[in-house]
Amino acid sequence: MRLVRAVFITLFVLIAAIRAVAQQPSQTPSPALPPGQPPAAPAVPGQPAASPTAPAQPAQPRTFTAPVGLLLNTVRADRVDDFEKAMGYLQAALASSTNERVRAQAAGWRIFKAAEAAPGGAVLYVFVLDPTVVGADYSLGRILADAYPDQAKLQEIWKLYSGSVTGGSILNLTPVKPAPPAKPTP
């Protein structure tokens, strides 16, 4: 029943979310790495590539304030395999975590691929988080950095992710219980 509700909600907000994602510039957060270990900056079309030694911008935490959440990711069609490989690393990180909060996050975290194409031919992936761990950080970089302390391996995973994602959006969802309609008077 929860899946049906989540899918219904997802479909309802999908059109608006796709439009919002298509209009936003790519904001791929960097992984949360120890100081002095910045990741290589992803290339931005039309701009020169940043130096791998350039300081990383602080990652914006991805937190939820509602009991259900969605993370929408648009992925380049030619990089779907890279994204799915990165998601394999993410799922392994979630499954092997000894952190109770991360394990609670993992319990409600499912990944879906939309059958319909996103704007520009991108592929849409939806993370359905039901239930969310309210206030927990869902940033992939932090979760991956905790699971993969080897910086070379973390850079490899992050390159797969950042090279494939073109945008994203976060949605906090609160279930709505509509009031029953008024009974008709005879």
111-125 confidence digits (pLDDT tens): 999 999 998 999 999
The CB-side HSE value for 40 (13 A sphere, CA atoms) comes to: 17
- The pLDDT of residue 186 is 77
- Judge contact between 33 and 141, C-beta under 8 A: yes
- The pLDDT of residue 133 is 96
Tens digits of residue pLDDT in 7-50 = 333 433 344 444 444 444 444 444 444 433 434 433 333 333 33
- The pLDDT of residue 185 is 81
The H or E element that residue 157 is part of is: helix 151-164
Q: What is the chain's Cα-based Rg?
A: 18
Mean pLDDT across the chain: 77
Higher pLDDT: 37 or 128? It is 128
- φ, ψ of residue 62 in degrees (nearest 5): -105, 100
Region 85-92: mean pLDDT is 98
Q: pTM for this one?
A: 0.69
Protein fold of 2-24+62-173: Alpha-Beta Plaits (3.30.70)
What is the residue type of 5? R
- The pLDDT of residue 122 is 97
Stretch among 4-13, 27-36, 63-72, 162-171 having the lowest mean pLDDT: 4-13
Higher pLDDT: 60 or 83? It is 83
- φ, ψ of residue 174 in degrees (nearest 5): -115, 125
As a whole number of angstroms, the distance between CA 14 and CA 91 comes to 24
pLDDT band of 62, cuts 50, 70, 90: confident
Instruction: Sketch the domain layout of the chain as residue ranges.
Output: 2-24+62-173
